[in-house]
Amino acid sequence: MNKYDVRLSKIFIIHDEINLDVGKFKIKQNGNDGGHNGIKNIIDV
């Protein structure tokens, strides 16, 4: 993020969630990776 001078408050992550029905979504501001390795990598950055 420093490389591109982007603030954390300007980042919006969209990813698939197998636990939700097709066409449903949820918005979460905080949380954990829930076992999703891709999300874990994002959190680790």
- Please write the tens of the pLDDT for every residue from 5-37: 888 888 888 887 788 899 898 888 888 888 889
**Buried residues in 3-34 as b, exposed as e (16+ CB within 10 A):** eeeeeeeeeeeeeeeeeeeeeeeeeeeeeeee
For residue 30, give the DSSP letter.
S
Report pLDDT for 2: 76
Residue 41 in tokens: 């990598």
Q: What is the pLDDT of residue 1?
A: 67
pTM: 0.56
Assigned token pair, 21: 């029905």
